[in-house]
Amino acid sequence: MLGAIAGDIIGSVYEHRPIKHCEFALFDRHSTWTDDSLLTVAVADALLQGRSYSQCLFEWGCRYPGAGFGRSFHAWLRAGGGAPYGSWGNGSAMRVSPVAWAFDDEASMLDAATEAAAATHDHPEGIKGAQAVSLAIFMARQGADKIDIARRIQADFGYDLDRRLVNIRPGYRFDVSCAGSVPEALIAFFESEDYESAVRNAVSLGGDADTQACIAGSVAEAWYGGVPDAIVSESLSRLPADMRQVVTDFVRRHVKY
């Protein structure tokens, strides 16, 4: 969860200013949390309180309506929440990381990932993206190696994870679909050497930088056993107090390396 939020903040300044390299400052004065972090907090809050994902997503979205939501989520908020809207976008995958930490058996975790996604993103591709990311985090928590994680994700979800960043990067463009962004974010993790390089790899794709860094960072946190203290401190300092409190409470209850 911390890995997701830090990745979002680091990637935020490159979402609409794409770069194709890994040499950039992790934080600058414009680095900020976006809807990725906010809705990750909403999912964590639902898990902490035993409330519905839909209700918490709606309440947190209304609390911070300027967080950078897509048009469909904005419309969902304006309509008062309620029924999902069939999205296949990567919003389901960017916010799912708390689920992978809150459950200790795979079947329950995948069911919860489906439920968290389907509150808004009930298209099969939206659910697939959330399940794939949550399973990668869950397996990383269990100590699985990268090859085994990749093979399982490919077998269960059909994502092509045999590609290399050097081949993806030149022609890759902004893509908010799960199908067109989640596999690439996972590859950014698979080619990493530590948490920081996973996030740098994701940003360097030149796509939906904050969301892909959020996803890659969420898996990297689990696999590398945490996020560097300096990155955690800088990221938490940029969150408002109410979001920071949920993160702190969730980490204390569920996150163990």
The torsion angles phi and psi of 23, rounded to 5 degrees, stand at -95, 90
Q: Are 114 and 139 in contact (CB under 8 A)?
A: no
Nearest to 118 by CA among 93, 97, 92: 92
Instruction: Quickly tell me which residue has 């050097």 as its tokens.
Output: 166
Q: CB atoms < 10 A from the CB of 173, how many? A: 10
Q: CB atoms < 10 A from the CB of 1, how many? A: 29
Query: How far is it, in rounded angstroms, from Cα 55 to Cα 53?
Result: 6
pLDDT at 205: 98
Buried b / exposed e over 226-252, threshold 16 CB at 10 Å, is ebeeebbebbbebbeeebbebbeebbe
Residues in the chain: 257
The answer to whether residue 191 is domain-embedded is yes
Q: Provide the CATH number for the domain around residue 187.
A: 1.10.4080.10
The answer to whether residue 54 is domain-embedded is yes
Q: Which domain holds residue 172?
A: 2-13+30-254
The answer to whether residue 25 is domain-embedded is no
- Domains: count for the chain: 1
In order, the DSSP letters of 112-169 are HHHHHHHTT--SHHHHHHHHHHHHHHHHHHTT--HHHHHHHHHHHH-------HHHHG
Q: Are 157 and 117 in contact (CB under 8 A)?
A: no
pLDDT at 38: 98
Global model pTM greater than 0.95: yes
Tens of pLDDT, residue by residue over 1-33, are: 999 999 999 999 999 899 999 999 999 999 999
CA torsion, points 69, 70, 71, 74, in degrees to nearest 10? -30
pLDDT at 257: 86
The answer to whether residue 19 is domain-embedded is no
Tens of pLDDT, residue by residue over 71-106, are: 999 999 999 999 999 999 999 999 999 999 999 999
Which residues, listed in sequence order, are joined to residue 177 by a DSSP beta bridge? 89
The answer to whether residue 23 is domain-embedded is no
pLDDT at 108: 98
**Regions of the chain where pLDDT drops below 70:** none
The answer to whether residue 143 is domain-embedded is yes
The answer to whether residue 20 is domain-embedded is no
Cα distances (angstroms) measured from residue 52 to each of 12, 48, 72, 119:
28, 11, 20, 9
